Structure 1
Amino acid sequence: MVRFTLLGPVRAITDAGDITLGSPQQRGLLSLLLLRNTPVPIDDVVDALWGPEPPPSAHSTVRTYAARLRQLLPGEDVELRRSASGYFVVRHRADVDVEQFDRLVRRARRARRAGDVDDAAATLRRALDLWAGPALGGVHADFVAGQRARLDESYRTAREQWFDAELALGRHEPICAELGAAVAERPMDARLTELWMTALHRCGRTVEALEAFRRLRTRLRRELGIEPGPELQRLHQRLLQGDEAVVRAATPPVRPDQTPPGIRDFTGRHAEIERLRRVLTEDGVALAGITGLGGAGKSTLAVHVAHLFADHFPDGRVHLDLRARTGQPMGVHEALGSLLRTVRPDVAVPDTVAERSALWRTVASGRRMLVVLDDADSSAQVEPLLPACAVIVTATRRLLRLPAVSWLRLGPLSDDESLALLGEIAGHHRGAAEPGPAAELVAACSGHPLSIRVAAARLLDRPMWTVERIMAQLDEDLREPVVMHEDCKIVDEPMRRAEGRLDAVAATVFRVGALAVTPFRDVDDVIAMTGLPRAETRAALEDLVDAHLLQAVSADTYWYSPLIQAFARRRAQQVEGTDRCRAALAGLVHA
């Protein structure tokens, strides 16, 4: 087996010893092909080896290099080939230290996100130990400077992550000298200086830590005319104030799992689940929104999806109730504090919303985590809470100032889904015994999951009653109740909340427009019933569609579901009064 090293002198190592790879530019050809790991056209090889002014014999020289390498490399382990696409290396049994380094760094990143800081530190140390000096040593080629800079930056990033992990584990003394050497190499690297100051302070060398800050600040002012960044300045102030939290090793982020239990009788919504899966688990911006009338199952669907695709979010699932339905939604300041303490219980939560929001994005960055922001009130409430990870927002209306969110409008269940949900709760034998009344019962519920659950609860509570009798009583209770039963109040409550959020014109259109027996209304019908101008009428009807109180069936025609129409007619009698309702119907007749 052959092992190629590029993170130091370029070598090809076998069990029998090193393979002599020839001239610096011949090594350059091999290094280029190993780094690209794809066919490279001969013109690109010439550019990479000699730059914009190659010698006249460059193409011939490349072919000579390739022929020599083909003879040097053991064919059972690795081959250099040429195709129409260019030169490439086929590795049968060969490894390259650059790829091994990248694999280890990715594994360490996953371990750190999962909270296993010990494994992350050990894995990063193995990655750093692969380095044996400046990358691509012994190679002379035009492409080397750029590739060496890229690889060296990867090394510095991994080394910084290793220092950070060691500090998180409380191992500041063993790395203090190495951190000091790293700062000496890169005296204007603020992050390295910050880590070194922390290590020095924990070793009882606070004066030296403060001196390190002074030297960096002096150099930045003199050479760049800038001040150290806010993170470093905050650390400096904390050291001056003797903040004991700096002494303690940081607690790694926890893996939260706040998802409420799913319901056992979840039914249907297959198309909606598939759409949410695509938004949340495929590449791109993973921000999903669910809107719908209260009781439509927005929260239930969000929780179901969180459980269903839990494997896609190994760094945890966060659930935050933003309490819009209560009329007293959670403030942004409180919400950010809750999110931060959920993921980082030890974190020092900043005072301002802006600082909290920035810290929340930093804490969540790079984590494969799902955040459910449930029952949101407004764009202003949600926007500062959006982290750089997968999110589901539920709200009664689309939040227009969140353009990156992919919104899903959650409508009624289908007839089959409604019957299935009724059977899951009350027992399928009840519906099977009376299929006609059962179909009428779910039709009266208009596919509204909350209403179906209330009807099913009545069936469970009255096992001796027929479905037909339950249907008759429910119809009476919802249309012209003498006494409003408690479960009917539950059914009414989402519609009452939606009505309460309407402006005065839209609320009047909603109530008065429901008075006619048929469920369909066009714009002219509503004008005749209300006397409103056309533009105002159309705007009110569209507002009702956005509030999920009407469905648009064409450009000018709208439809009331039976459940919502029954509610709106009752409200018209209560608010507008009998005379106004008669006048509205008369206007429709004479239109």
Structure 2
Amino acid sequence: MLEFRVLGPVGLWSDGAEVPLGGCKQRTTLAALLLADGAVVSDSDLGGVLWEQRPPATYQAQIYTYASRLRGLFRAGATITRRGRGYRIERGDARFDLDEFHRLAEEGQALRRSGRTGDAADRLRAALDLWSGPTLTGVTDALVDNERSRIEMARMEALESRIDADLHLGRHRQLIIELTQLVGAHPLRETFRAKLMIALHRSDRQAEAFETFHAGCALLREQLGVDPGPTLHSAHRAILAGVFAPALSGRGDLVAGPTG
């Protein structure tokens, strides 16, 4: 089985073993073609991400070399073809981790909507387990700047949905360490802070839930000059009202979940 990976170090794997890809520019060529999702990537666009808008006079010959070397590593019907003034990757029967992530995440969201919360949590967890490090490791900064944010946004959405499903299933105590780490890594992301407040509240740690809220308010005012948004306020109001079992929906609204 041939496998392409971009959810971590960009790589090519064959029957469970990593295939050496060479340097940064060859990895960048592979990643740029994979992320085009079957569309042709022009020489000029490849030159832009390979040399940050300053390609050398021989850039087309160098791209040809990278494409030829990559093609020689492929099997299972995968290939790179020349189309007009660009290149297109055909994956054949090869697996692509980003496609697998999107499939699993979409299935997980559909299961949540249908009320199958346990299955949804499992499917979303499987999607997130495909990550092996920061997205697009080992490629040029130009490609990272162009592509990483949209992939990471999809990952964050799946992560928040998986946490919501776990909260709904009463796994609040198990979530506290993970959510504390997420708030530390993303201190201005209100959704993680609100979910931590909920998990603390439902674990009989109300004082810490309030501390988490007030720390977030202070940070938002200090760094952004804004007050907390509706997500944080909704969690705070629920705790004040003594609603013991709130969880967050995908829209940031409070919905019921089990206690204990």
TM-score by length of 2: 0.90
* Structure 1 equivalent of residue 53 of structure 2: 52
In the alignment, the residues of structure 1 paired with residue 108 and residue 211 of structure 2 have an alpha-carbon distance, to the nearest angstrom, of: 33
Displacement of 1:11: 1.3
> Aligned with 2:72: secondary structure?
helix
Measured against aligned partners, the alpha-carbon deviations of 1:124-161 in whole angstroms (never above 9, x if no partner) come to 00000000010111112522222112211111111111
Structure 2 counterpart of 1:155, one-letter code: R
Matches within 5 A, 1:568-583: none
- Contact 1:42–1:86 (CA<8 Å) still a contact in 2? yes
When normalised by structure 1's length, the TM-score is 0.41
Instruction: Map Cα deviations across residues 268-313 of structure 1 (whole Å, 9 max, x no partner).
Output: xxxxxxxxxxxxxxxxxxxxxxxxxxxxxxxxxxxxxxxxxxxxxx
* Equivalent residue runs for 1:465-544 within 5 Å: none
Distance 1:183 1:194 in 2: 9
**Equivalent AA in structure 1 for residue 74 of structure 2:** L
List gaps (5 residues or longer) in structure 1.
Answer: 253-343, 348-591
1:158 aligns with 2:150: no
Deviation at 1:240, TM superposition (A): 2.8
The 8 Å contact of residues 248 and 255 in structure 2, kept in 1 or not, is answered as no
Distance 1:234 1:16 in 2: 47
Identity within the alignment, %: 37
- The one-letter code matched in structure 2 to 1:163 is I
Distance in structure 1 (CA, Å) of the matches to 2:239 and 2:210: 8
Q: What are the residue-to-residue correspondences of 1:104-115 with 2, within 5 Å?
A: 104-115=104-115
Shift of 1:208: 0.7
Is the contact made by 1:4 and 1:12 (CA closer than 8 Å) also made in structure 2? yes
Matches within 5 A, 1:145-294: 145-246=145-246
1: CA distance, partners of 2:53 / 2:9: 26
Alignment of 1:12-31 (within 5 A): 12-15=12-15, 17-31=17-31
> 1:78·1:90 contact (CA, 8 Å) conserved in 2?
yes
Give the CA deviation at 1:72: 2.0
Q: Deviations over 1:237-284 (max 9, x none)?
A: 3323423343xx6899xxxxxxxxxxxxxxxxxxxxxxxxxxxxxxxx
Distance 2:67 2:184 in 1: 42
Kept after mapping to 1: 8 A contact 2:164/2:249: no
C-alpha spacing 1:90/1:234, structure 2 compared with 1 (3 Å): closer
1:48 to partner: Cα distance: 2.5
Report the Cα offset of residue 10 of structure 1.
1.0
The structure having more radius of gyration, on CA atoms, is 1
Count of aligned pairs between the two proteins:
253
SS at match of 1:244: coil
Residues 51 and 27 of structure 1, relative CA distance in 2, 3 Å threshold: same
Report if aligned partners of 2:49, 2:140 keep a CA contact under 8 Å in 1. no
Task: For residue 81 of structure 1, report the CA deviation from its aligned partner.
Answer: 1.3
C-alpha distance after superposition, 1:94-144 (max 9, x if no partner): 011000000111111111111111111110000000000101111125222
Quote the residue 1:72 is aligned against: 73
Deviations 1:390-417 (A, max 9, x none): xxxxxxxxxxxxxxxxxxxxxxxxxxxx
1:61 is aligned to 2:62? yes
Distance apart, 1:39 and its partner CA: 1.6
Give me the whole-angstrom Cα distance separating, in 1, the residues matched to 2:66 and 2:124.
Answer: 36
8 Å contact kept, 2:202–2:245: no
Measured in 1, the distance between the counterparts of 2:229 and 2:90 equals 47
Q: Which runs of 4+ in 1 moved over 3 A?
A: 249-252, 344-347
